[in-house]
Structure 1
């Protein structure tokens, strides 16, 4: 097997109750972090219970949480995960507007991107969090 066939891409959990929002994030981030790198392994989740259960299993490199999700928003969920999940991976929160960045800091999120989502800003935030996590880990 070649090195390309044996290497795995980053494992990213994407939480939003809106299927269109999840698609927008996946398209904005892209299939991979850069040319020649392995494909991202996406795990899409539409409920807070699903996020918690999946995060507790481990094996994720990044969590992207929709701060505008109905019922349980990504910011409250981020705070809960950071408090309760051992070795919680970095969390990127998507906010409804730039003025909500202070809420993302309350949530203990490692990064924040506001809507409307700029694909370049979103991709760069994902790359920065994954690289920082790899260096720290």
Structure 2
């Protein structure tokens, strides 16, 4: 089965305050048929995650309203999101350890290579599908 067929029904929540970076994430993943939801800050990201139950979350660390680390910790403490794959993206490359300790599955430093982000998303979604 192709990556496109495997991800056709997958949903991705992009929690990033920069609209240009949200667009870049969509473009990086868009050829694989994902359905996207977007949040520009931490509180709306949490609310949208609860409402949409995404298959993958792409989360910035520096968000208005609530930090990405706080959002990640809250998600990981909720049973519904304990196993939801999360890719943290951040310009603060020294934040990778903190992100992984908080529960991130992958860390991608900004500015990121779109292929790196796409490959990470596909790997996490394939792994998640295999565990279902």
| Shorter-chain TM-score range | 0.7 to 0.9
Which runs of 5 or more structure 1 residues have no equivalent in the other structure?
Answer: 1-6, 33-38
Q: Could you give the per-residue CA deviations for residues 111-131 of structure 1, whole angstroms, max 9, x where no partner exists?
A: 111111111111001001111
2:41 and 2:64 in contact (8 A); partners too: no
TM-score (norm 2): 0.83
How many residues end up aligned between the 2 structures?
A: 126
- Correspondence list, 1:43-58, <5 A: 43-58=37-52
Q: Could you give the per-residue CA deviations for residues 41-78 of structure 1, whole angstroms, max 9, x where no partner exists?
A: 00011132222222223541011111122342222211
- Correspondence list, 1:18-97, <5 A: 18-32=18-32, 39-88=33-82, 89-97=84-92
Q: Which residue does the alignment assign to 1:9? A: 9
Larger Cα Rg: Structure 1 or Structure 2? 1
Which runs of 5 or more structure 2 residues have no equivalent in the other structure?
Answer: 1-6
In angstroms, what is the RMSD of aligned CA positions?
Answer: 2.1
